[in-house]
Amino acid sequence: MESTLDDKGLVCGYSIAPDGNMTVIRAADIALHFNQADNLVWLHFDHGDAGARQWISHCERMPPAAKALLLGSDNHMRIEAIGSGLCGIIGDLHHEFASQTDGLDVLRLYLDNHCLISVRHRPLAAIDKLRKTIGEGLQDGRPIVLVTNFLLHVTDTLGDLILGLADSVDDVEEKILEGRPSRPGEELGRIRRLAARLRRHMVPQQHALLTLLAKLPHWVAENDAVRLRSAIEGLGALGHDLDLVQERARLLQEQASARLMEATNRNLYILSIVTVFFLPISLISGIFGMNLGGLPWGQAHLGFWYGMLLMVVTVIVTLVLLKRGRML
């Protein structure tokens, strides 16, 4: 397994002894720790590093199918039993997700009762939390426990994001109820697009994890299986919260559209009333503005005032007719 792997390709590595002592693994020391049967090893690689890809392709501990999945480009989330271990793809949020919501990232992993080997494309939020947990003293470093903790951190990360979306929906709702001038449609559209992407990300992941519960290998203890099920159920609860955010955003967007339509109709109605008022006046002014002989009051000393009086009378008659027609 000798290769050109360096500490850039190996994002992080940990060896946890049975007594709970944790040792950070450097790229040059992988073989030393990896061959210690009593220690539990986690190696986390950068998918884009040539040295990391070479190390994985030559790793004798992993079955060929697991190597192909870890080195592949397929991002469909799933977990499969391969040999005596488990291999799969689990979703997570990359650090730039808040500003680059066009793609969610995944973690590729293989685990057995001795090691956890994971690969990522971009830095992942939940992995960083897991590394912090280990640094603070995670006593139980069994691979299945690490995966369970990773899922719990994924739940926390997604929960914070969904809570932020809910707060954004609350702010938009407050503006709509207060009638403050704003453009809620754009913000609600952004929230709905982001929620839809998260939904497409979470549903297949939960299905894959639920399928995993039915085919756990023999080396997974019963209490570990219970904790894993609890972590998966936490992801399911987040899916329900996300559905509520989507539904609220949809209803608010419909309400905002209805209010915009109502305001447009009101403005058009006011414009129509103004047009009705000024149309007779424009007709009268147009008639008296014709350069033709025989116009009434054309030579009269008070002809201008007669024309103004006629316009006033016309406006009054128009107003009375609109009142009788209940248009005002």
20 lies in a domain? yes
Query: Is 284 within the bounds of a domain?
Result: no
pLDDT at 71: 92
- The answer to the question of residue 21 being in a domain is yes
Per-residue pLDDT, 44: 92
pTM of the model: 0.71
Pick the range with the lowest mean pLDDT from 7-21, 95-109, 147-161, 187-201: 95-109
Report the alpha-carbon distance of residue 73 to residue 134 in Å, rounded.
29
**φ, ψ at 81 (rounded to 5°):** -85, 120
Domain identity same for 28 and 164: yes
Answer yes or no: is 1 within a domain.
no
Residue ranges making up the domain that contains 200: 10-259
Please report which helix (H) or strand (E) contains residue 85, including its range: strand 85-92
The reported pLDDT for the residue numbered 2 is 44
Residue 253 is part of a domain; what is its CATH number? 3.30.460.20
In a domain, 265, yes or no: no
The answer to whether position 279 is within a domain reads: no
Tens of pLDDT along 66-113? 999 999 888 888 888 888 889 988 887 765 555 555 557 888 999 988
Q: Is residue 115 part of a domain?
A: yes
Q: Same domain for 314 and 255?
A: no
Tell me whether residue 186 is in a domain: yes
Both structure tokens of 116: 């956890």
134, amino acid identity:
I
Instruction: Check whether residue 296 and residue 149 sit in a common domain.
Output: no
